[in-house]
Amino acid sequence: MVQILQRYGWRWVGLLFSNDDYGRHAARSFHQEVSRFGCVAFSEMLPRDNDQTKFRRIVGIIHRSTARVVTVFSQVFSLLPLAKEIALQNLTGRQWIASEAWATSTISLAPEILPFLGGTLGIAIRRGDIPGLLDFLLSLRPDFDPGNNMVNMFWEEIFSCRFKDSPGRVCTGLESLEGTESAYSDVSALRHSYNVYKAVYALAHALHDLLGCKPGTGPFPGNSCAELHTLQPWQLVHYLQIVNFTTSFGDQVSFDKNGDALAIYDVMNWQRAADGTIRAVTVGVFDESAPPGQELLLEERNIFWNFESHEVSPSPNFDLIKLRSALCEALIQLH
Burial of 246 (0-12, 13-18, 19+ CB in 10 A): exposed
pLDDT value at residue 300? 92
pLDDT at 331: 44
Q: State residue 239's pLDDT score.
A: 96
Give the per-residue pLDDT at 225: 95
| Residue 287 one-letter amino acid | D
The distance of Cα 205 from the centroid of its chain, to the nearest Å, equals 25
Whether residue 190 contacts residue 251, with contact meaning beta carbons closer than 8 Å, is answered with no
* Domain architecture of the chain: domains with CATH: 2-126+262-334 (3.40.50.2300), 133-185 (no CATH), 192-250 (no CATH)
Q: What is the pLDDT of residue 310?
A: 53
Distance CA 182, CA 184 (A): 5
Nearest Cα neighbor of 36 from 330, 271, 322, 302 is 322
- Check residue 332 and give its pLDDT: 40
Q: 258 Cβ partners below 8 Å, 6+ apart? A: none
Nearest CA to 42 among 23, 21, 24, 27? Answer: 27
Length of the chain: 335
Do residues 205 and 196 touch, judged by C-beta distance below 8 A? Answer: no
CB 38 within 8 A of CB 10: yes
CA dist 226 → 178, 218, 324 (Å): 46, 8, 58
Q: What are phi and psi of 286, to 5 degrees?
A: -115, 120
pLDDT in tens, the chain (335 residues): 899 999 999 999 999 999 999 999 999 999 999 988 899 999 999 998 888 899 999 999 999 999 999 999 998 888 889 999 999 999 999 999 999 989 988 766 777 788 899 999 999 988 888 888 888 888 888 888 877 788 888 898 889 898 877 777 888 888 989 888 777 777 767 788 888 999 999 999 999 999 999 999 999 999 999 998 999 999 999 999 999 999 988 888 999 888 888 888 999 999 988 888 888 999 999 998 888 889 999 999 999 998 765 556 555 555 555 555 555 555 445 44
Q: What is the pLDDT of residue 323?
A: 58
User: What pLDDT score was predicted for residue 145?
Assistant: 80
Q: Which pLDDT value is given to residue 320? A: 56
